[in-house]
Each structure stands twice: as C-alpha cells, then as structure tokens.
C-alpha cells in the first residue's frame, strides 16, 4: 500500500470513528444536565414523576455512556496510530487540554458509578442530586477540553516555527486560541439542545403509541422548553461562529457559502446545486452574507479568489452547512410553537401529525450535529494544522490501515445495533406505568 | 530529579494502577466464564458483578490516562509507537470496546446472555496479550528504520521466545492478581464457597506467575544484555518482591488475613514493576528513543505537572469516596442493599 492509500484510509477510518463517536458523545454531554434538571424539578415541586424521569433517563444513559467511553478510547488512540506525525508535532503544544480532558472524564466516571448505585441509599434526595453535579460538570468539561484541541487545529498559535523547529511554546496561549470561544460554546450548547430533542422524541413517541400518561406529557413539555432555550443559544453562537470564520478562516466560510469573488454587499446563497462551477436553483438573499460575516450589510467579504487552488476546501460543504442551519432553525421554530401553544392551550400540538414532527426532532438534531462536524472538519482541508501541516504529511506510513478500517466498521456495526436493541428492550419490558405501580407497592410494603 | 524522571514516574505509576485494576477485571471475567462453563456460575457471579459494576468505567480511564500522558510528556513516542503499533493496538481497542460495552449491555440492560459471558471471559485474556506486545517491542530488535520511518517486523516479533514469555506472564499474572483480590472481597462479603474457590485459583496461578517472571529475566540475557545487566544491579528489589510473594501465598494457604495478602501482592508487583521500569532507563524504545530525546518542551512539561497535581487533588478524594461506598461498605459488599438505578 502506497502512502497515498494510507492517507485515504486513515481519513476514512478517522471520519468513521468520529461520526460514530459523536452520536454517543453528544448524548453523553447533554443527558447528565437533563437528568440533573429533572431531579431538581422533582425535588422542588415534590413530584415523583420528575424523579422517575431522572431515574429512567439515567438507566438508559448508562448504555450510551458505555459506547461513548469505548469509542472515545478508540479515537484517542487512533490519533496517534493514524496520525503519528501530527501528534508528534502538535503534542508539544496541545497536550495540556488533552490531558485535562482525561481528568474531566475520570471525574465523571467516578461520580457516575456512585450516582447509579446509590439510588434510595440517602434519606435526603438532595444529597443524591449533589452527586449529579460532578457528573454533569465532568461531562461538559470533557467536551470543552477536547473541543479546545480541535479549535487549536483550526487556529494554531502559542508557538513559533523556526526552520521546522518549535520554539517559545506557550500551552495556555495555545488553549485560548481565537477559534476556541465560539467552537466550545457551540459544541456544548448544541449537545444540550440535541439531548433535549432526543428525549422529547421519546416522550412524543410514547404518547403516540397509546400511552397517555401524564408522565410523558410532563417529560415532553420540560424537554421542549429546554430544547427551545438551547436552540436559541445555538443560533446566537452560530452567528458568532460565522463572524469568527470571516475574520480568521475566510476560506472555510467562502467555501461553505459558495462565495467565489471578494466583494462588498455580499449576498447569501441558500440551497441550490453547483454544476460545472455554476450555482443553480439557489435562493439569494442580498447583503445577508456581509451581515453574517461582519454585522454590516456593506462590508467586504473575502472570496475563494484570494486563495490558491490547493488551499481551497471541497465545495460540497455548502450542502452540509445548509442542512445544519435549516434543521437548527426548524427545531427552534418547532419547539417555540409547542411551548407557546401549550401555554395558550391550543390543542393542535396534541394531534398526531404534530407529535410525529416532534418524534422526528431528535434524529434531525443528531443529523445536524453530524453535518456541522463534517462541515467544520472538511472545511479546514487541506490542512490538519491550518497553515502549518497538510493532512497528507501527517498520516501513518503503515500498510495495514485498510484492514483496520474493515475491523472497526464491523465493531461500530455491532455496537450500534447492540445499543439500540438493549435500549429498546429495557424500556419495552418495563413501561413507566408498570414502574410507577411497582414503586407504589414497594412503598406500601414498607408501611405494613 | 529532572522533569523527565518526574514525567516517566507519574506515567509508570498510572500504568501500574491500570495493571492492577484491569487485571482484577480481566481475571474476574475469565473466572466467571469458566464457572459458567462448568455450571457453577451461581458461586461467583454475584460477587464479581457487585464489585465490577460501579468501577468498570474507572478502570478504563486509567488506560486512557496513561496513553494520553505518554503522548503529552513524550510526543516523539507517537512517531515510533504510533506507526508500528497500528495492528496490535487496534486489536486491543476493538476487544476493549466489545468487552466494555457488552458488559454494560448485559449488566444494566438485560439479564446476561451466556454467549456474552464467554466473550467477556475470552476477550479479557486477549487484551493483556495484545497490550503486552508493547513491552516486548520496547526491548528493541523488532523495529527497523526504512526510509526514515519505523517498520515493525511481525515475523521477528511472533517467532521470538521473549514475546511469548511476556504474553504468558501477562496472562497468568492477570489470573493470579484477580484471584487474590477476589478471595479477599468474597471473604469480606461472607461468601464462604466463593472464597474457597477463589483461594484455590489464587494458589494454582501463583507458581506459573513466578516461573514465567523468572523466565523473562533469563530471555532478556540473550535479547538485550544491557537491560539484563541493569536488572542484575537491582537484584535486591526483585528479591524483596519475591519475599512478598512468598508472604501472600503463605497467608492464603493458611486462610489468614486476606487483606494483608492482597496488600503484599500489590507491593510485590509494585516493586517488580518499578524495578523493571528503572532497569529500562533511559530507553522508551531501545535503542532509538530515550526519555531525554523524546521529552516535550519545558513549558509544556511544567504545565502538565501542574495540571496533574491539581487533577490529583480532585481525584484522590473522589476515588476514596468510591472505595468507601462500594469496596468498604459492608451492606453493599454483602448485597444487603443494591440501590442501583
């Protein structure tokens, strides 16, 4: 196998691992916060339903955490196995957040174990709630630190490269690179948002499938309120991300927006297809790109004409960008409508078709996460370290990457199918009506 | 003490932590599978599940911590080991992934399926085998430089008696460590039949552990004489380690003080592990890579050590809390209260 093939298969394997991992990782970052909120609401309102909600979410969460942990271990090692030259160079500058990420992960793992095995052990439920705080903090901070590593790859700083040697290294400066604030905020908030919509999907699905229990209605209303808050936050931060790109990574923004020529009063191109260098069927919104990039309708936006051919990312990222933004906007609208209509007691939100829309919300949010990551990652091609190291120079020289790709693809298939089957079985066998009944009997038993 | 030595000592300590907690986990899986095969699973399953369930994720973190730390302190290892370990490390990751997630599936999800129990037992033995090839490779002689890139000679690796001695040692040591720990744990739980069975396993695996460990020192004499000579310089460390081994076996034989027996075992392996590590000094990969020429810049090293100390400040109390609640809590260990979500 030549080096070119090794680079190709390394890319595919990394993309496969990350695409699979972020499904579980996103859930892993968001769900602990949701559990914490449900538990807190339950204690405050003295409502058993919310406590039960937290408990059932926690039980399902363990399964997704397990897959998240093992695939996270996989990508952690693959960074060095598939991109040894990159890690050798970048490790000198960016090891600190990578190291801190494992601490956050450690912290979460310890308290998650304690939390899961101490239900009913404490007389005071508030003590049990306290255990969730380190779990949620650990989960969110893993995301923060690992996203800092990724932000560094987009905007490397904190060192000087003189004759191929790294000098004047400053690990703190490397962590607080320009890409970091928007990236970290966007990743964390969209993880919360996606988790809220995934949980809302489940509640809506149960309501559709015959259970009319008030438990599911409470779950749906709570998660969609949270979903609305986080999707608005995601949109605002998304706008900041656009402004960051215009300032520091104009080639990514230009490729995502099909902005070929540098101009003032730049218009935004939505949807459409690209054929032989010509954009067709697109919706053009005048001045919008200038607003997105600089907050000024007349500002100049740098186009792809400023970059040489071999430094331009693939133009298909435009479709990914559209997909992400459309889903984000759609979900904000959908959850806003639901919350407003519930508040005004409009009954159409309880119709079948509307509930099917809510069921679709979770998977769509996850699709938006994937599309967003693909756009962000493909958008920095051809660089692995923007402006410093090209991807093809970073890959392994080993000849066995293709076989490993097949093995890992098999692994993810098994894990994906396994987790879905187990989760379905867990909740099918023990519907909430049954569990409420069981707990009632248990408590009565205590008194006799 | 230089920063390089601090770095490698910290990492070696964490690797030791992983070796102990993972051995307990791997061995437990194997004993569980073996007992299922011989239809005695009722004796061990409860004990093993009660210990593993709250801690399995923590076990995994020790490994992640080690390899992230190595890349952090010694970025050049990514170049040498990353390129050459693609196949053995990938296999280990796949086995770890299957094992970890299926453990969670079976424990929290549904009532265990027999096929899963066997897989859990078998993968638990293949993982130490594939991970221990790293130790073999670090002795040198299996990697050659082709056009400036390291290439691993698989034939040389798999035909070397040193490789197989290290693989066998990792297997029997896993079973021995696990059996001693579980004997102690079962005894605390007041589970007499499990204690007796595990005690038997501990005694069975004690002897091969010692034989293979001595065998490796002998193999090294031919393979890496320089390393062998430094091991001989440290003969007293291995001597004390051996005495502790005798102490453990004696206590278990006499059915006395299993807690102390496990303590001696931990000290025995710690001495042998650090003795081996010190004698390997200063090489990370003989003869290409020493801890000095692969060490990161000073700014990063200091930042990592500061992060490490701050992190430990958080971790040690948390770990203590975990042990208090599950390992040293009588009600929990005896299964009087389960309280899981």
Return the closest-CA partner of residue A50 out of A37, A64, A33.
Answer: A37
B318–A70 C-beta distance less than 8 A: no
Is residue A153 within 8 A of residue A179, CB to CB? The reply is no
- Tally Cβ neighbours within 10 Å of residue A9: 23
Is residue A281 within 8 A of residue A270, CB to CB? The reply is no
User: What is d(CA A56, CA A36) in angstroms, rounded to the nearest whole number?
Assistant: 12
Reply yes or no on whether the pLDDT at A210 is more than 80.
Answer: no
> Is the CB of A118 inside 8 Å of chain B's CB atoms?
yes
Mean pLDDT in residue range A215-238 = 93
Closest CB from B60, B69, B109 relative to A73: B60
User: What is d(CA B201, CA A330) in angstroms, rounded to the nearest whole number?
Assistant: 61
Taking only residues 287 to 306 of chain B, the set having a beta carbon closer than 8 angstroms to any beta carbon of chain A reads 296-297, 299-300, 303-304
Provide the shortest C-alpha distance from residue A358 to chain B (in Å).
26
Residue A443 is inside which H or E element, if any? helix A432-447
Tokens (6 digits) for A374: 């693909």
Reply yes or no on whether the pLDDT at A37 is more than 70.
Answer: yes
Closest CB from B69, B76, B151 relative to A99: B69
Identify the closest residue of chain A to B71 by CA–CA distance: A91
For tokens 């210990």, what's the residue?
Answer: B51
User: What is d(CA A73, CA A101) in angstroms, rounded to the nearest whole number?
Assistant: 12
Mean pLDDT in residue range A226-236 = 95
Residues B237, B239, B242, B243: is their CA dihedral positive or negative?
negative
Reply yes or no on whether the pLDDT at A193 is more than 80.
Answer: yes
Reply yes or no on whether the pLDDT at B229 is more than 70.
Answer: yes
> What pLDDT is recorded for position A273?
85
> What pLDDT is recorded for position A448?
41
Is residue B155 within 8 A of residue B144, CB to CB? The reply is no
Is residue A105 within 8 A of residue B67, CB to CB? The reply is no
Return the closest-CA partner of residue A57 out of A265, A228, A231, A223.
Answer: A223
Q: What is residue B256's three-state secondary structure?
A: coil
> What pLDDT is recorded for position A22?
95
Q: pLDDT tens-digit profile of B102-113? A: 888 877 766 556
Highest mean pLDDT among A186-195, A421-430, A437-446, B69-78: A186-195
Q: pLDDT tens-digit profile of A320-375? A: 999 999 999 999 999 999 999 888 888 887 888 888 999 999 999 999 999 999 99
Q: pLDDT tens-digit profile of B205-222? A: 888 888 888 888 888 888
Reply yes or no on whether the pLDDT at A1 is more than 60.
Answer: no
- Please state whether the peptide bond connecting residue A382 to the residue before it is cis, i.e. omega within 30 degrees of 0: yes
User: What is d(CA B298, CA B290) in angstroms, rounded to the nearest whole number?
Assistant: 16
Reply yes or no on whether the pLDDT at B338 is more than 70.
Answer: no
Sequence-ordered alpha helix ranges (H) in A83-158: 84-116, 125-154
* Stated pTM of the model: 0.90
Residues of B in contact with A114 (CB under 8 A): 54, 321-322, 325-326
> Is the CB of B100 inside 8 Å of chain A's CB atoms?
yes
Q: pLDDT tens-digit profile of A385-413? A: 777 888 888 888 777 888 999 999 999 99
Burial A196-228 (b: 16+ CB within 10 A, else e): bbbbbbbbbbbbeeeeebebbbbbbbbbbbbbb
Taking only residues 49 to 68 of chain A, the set having a beta carbon closer than 8 angstroms to any beta carbon of chain B reads 55, 58-59, 62-63, 65-67
Residues A208, A212, A214, A215: is their CA dihedral positive or negative?
negative
Strand partners for A280: A273
Q: pLDDT tens-digit profile of B297-325? A: 888 888 888 888 888 888 888 888 888 88
Q: Which residue has the higher pLDDT, B141 or A305?
A: A305
Tokens (6 digits) for A172: 């703190």
Provide the shortest C-alpha distance from residue B241 to chain A (in Å).
31
> What pLDDT is recorded for position A13?
94
Confidence at A36, pLDDT banded by 50, 70, 90 = very high
The set of residues, in sequence order, having a beta carbon less than 8 Å from that of B49 and lying 6+ positions away, is B107
Reply yes or no on whether the pLDDT at A417 is more than 80.
Answer: yes
> What pLDDT is recorded for position A41?
94
> What pLDDT is recorded for position B68?
87
- Tally Cβ neighbours within 10 Å of residue B240: 15
Reply yes or no on whether the pLDDT at B291 is more than 70.
Answer: yes
Hey, where are the domains in chain A?
A: 1-173+399-428
B105–A66 C-beta distance less than 8 A: yes
Using a pLDDT cut of 90, give the percent of chain A over it.
Answer: 42
Mean pLDDT in residue range B227-241 = 90
What would you report as the CA-atom Rg of chain A, rounded to the nearest whole angstrom? 24
CA A378 to chain centre: 16
Return the closest-CA partner of residue B216 out of B144, B275, B150.
Answer: B275
> What pLDDT is recorded for position A226?
95
Identify the closest residue of chain B to A55 by CA–CA distance: B341
Q: What is residue A52's three-state secondary structure?
A: helix
For tokens 């390394």, what's the residue?
Answer: A10
């Amino acid at each position: 196998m030549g080096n070119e093939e090794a680079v190709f298969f390394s890319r595919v394997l990394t993309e496969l691992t990350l695409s699979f991992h972020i499904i579980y990782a996103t859930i892993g970052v968001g769900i602990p916060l949701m559990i914490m909120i449900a538990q807190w609401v339950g204690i405050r309102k003295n409502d058993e339903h919310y406590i039960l909600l937290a408990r059932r979410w926690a039980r399902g969460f363990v399964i997704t955490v397990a897959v998240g942990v093992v695939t996270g271990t996989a990508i952690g090692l693959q960074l060095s196995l598939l991109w040894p030259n990159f890690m050798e160079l970048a490790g000198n500058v960016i090891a600190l957040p990578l190291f801190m990420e494992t601490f956050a992960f450690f912290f979460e793992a310890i308290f998650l174990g304690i939390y899961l095995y101490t239900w009913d052990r404490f007389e005071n439920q508030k003590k049990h709630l306290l255990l969730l705080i380190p779990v949620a903090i650990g989960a969110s901070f893993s995301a923060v630190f690992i996203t800092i590593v990724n932000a560094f790859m987009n905007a490397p700083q904190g060192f000087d490269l003189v004759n191929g040697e790294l000098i004047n290294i400053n690990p703190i400066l490397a962590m607080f690179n320009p890409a970091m604030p928007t990236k970290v905020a966007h990743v964390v908030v969209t993880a919360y948002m996606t988790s809220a919509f995934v949980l809302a999907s489940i509640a809506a699905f149960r309501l559709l499938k015959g259970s009319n229990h008030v438990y599911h209605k409470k779950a749906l209303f709570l998660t969609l309120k949270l979903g609305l808050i986080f999707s608005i936050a995601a949109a605002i931060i998304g706008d900041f991300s656009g402004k960051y790109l215009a300032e520091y990574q104009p080639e990514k923004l230009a490729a995502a927006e099909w902005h070929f020529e540098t101009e003032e009063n730049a218009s935004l191109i939505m949807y459409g297809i690209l054929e032989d260098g010509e954009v067709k069927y697109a919706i053009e919104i005048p001045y919008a790109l200038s607003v997105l990039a600089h907050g000024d309708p007349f500002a100049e936006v740098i186009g792809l004409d400023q970059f040489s051919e071999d430094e331009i990312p693939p133009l298909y990222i435009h479709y990914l960008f559209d997909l992400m933004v459309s889903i984000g906007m759609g979900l904000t609208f959908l959850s806003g409508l639901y919350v407003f209509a519930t508040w005004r007691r409009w009954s159409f939100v309880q119709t079948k078709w509307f509930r099917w829309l809510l069921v679709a919300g979770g998977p769509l949010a996850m699709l938006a996460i994937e599309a967003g990551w693909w756009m962000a990652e493909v958008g920095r091609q051809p660089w692995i370290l923007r402006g410093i190291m090209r991807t093809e120079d970073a890959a392994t020289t080993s000849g066995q990457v293709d076989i490993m790709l097949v093995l890992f693809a098999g692994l993810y298939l098994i894990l994906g199918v396994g987790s879905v089957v187990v989760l379905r079985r867990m909740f099918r066998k023990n519907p909430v009506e049954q569990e409420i009944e069981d707990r009632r009997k248990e408590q009565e038993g205590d008194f006799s | 003490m230089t920063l390089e030595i601090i770095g490698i000592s910290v990492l070696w300590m964490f690797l030791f932590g992983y070796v102990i907690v993972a051995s307990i986990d791997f061995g437990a899986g194997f004993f569980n599978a073996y007992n299922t095969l011989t239809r005695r699973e009722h004796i061990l399953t409860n004990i093993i599940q009660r210990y593993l369930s709250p801690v399995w994720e923590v076990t995994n973190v020790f490994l992640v911590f080690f390899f992230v730390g190595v890349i952090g302190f010694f970025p050049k290892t990514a170049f040498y080991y990353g390129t050459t370990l693609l196949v053995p490390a990938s296999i280990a990751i796949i086995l770890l992934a299957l094992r970890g997630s299926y453990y969670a599936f079976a424990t929290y999800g549904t009532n265990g399926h027999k096929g899963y129990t066997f897989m859990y037992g078998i993968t638990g033995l293949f993982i130490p085998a594939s991970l221990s090839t790293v130790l073999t490779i670090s002795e040198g002689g299996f990697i050659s430089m082709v056009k400036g890139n390291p290439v691993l000679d698989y034939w040389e690796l798999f035909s070397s008696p040193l490789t197989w001695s290290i693989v066998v040692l990792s297997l029997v040591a896993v079973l021995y460590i696990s059996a001693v720990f579980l004997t102690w744990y079962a005894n605390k739980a007041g589970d007499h039949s499990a204690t007796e069975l595990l005690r038997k396993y501990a005694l069975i695996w004690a002897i091969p552990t010692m034989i293979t460990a001595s065998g490796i020192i002998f193999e090294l004499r031919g393979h890496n004489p320089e390393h062998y000579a430094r091991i001989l310089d440290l003969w007293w460390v291995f001597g004390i380690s051996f005495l502790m081994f005798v102490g453990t076996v004696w206590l278990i034989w006499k059915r006395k003080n299993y807690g102390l027996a496990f303590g001696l075992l931990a000290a025995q392996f710690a001495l042998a592990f650090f003795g081996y590590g010190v004698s390997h000094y200063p090489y990370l990969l003989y003869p290409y890579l020493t801890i000095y020429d692969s060490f990161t810049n000073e700014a990063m090293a200091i930042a990592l050590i500061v992060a490490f100390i701050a992190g430990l400040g958080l971790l040690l109390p948390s770990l203590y809390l975990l042990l208090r609640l599950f390992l040293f809590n009588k009600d929990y260990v005896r299964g009087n209260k389960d309280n899981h979500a």
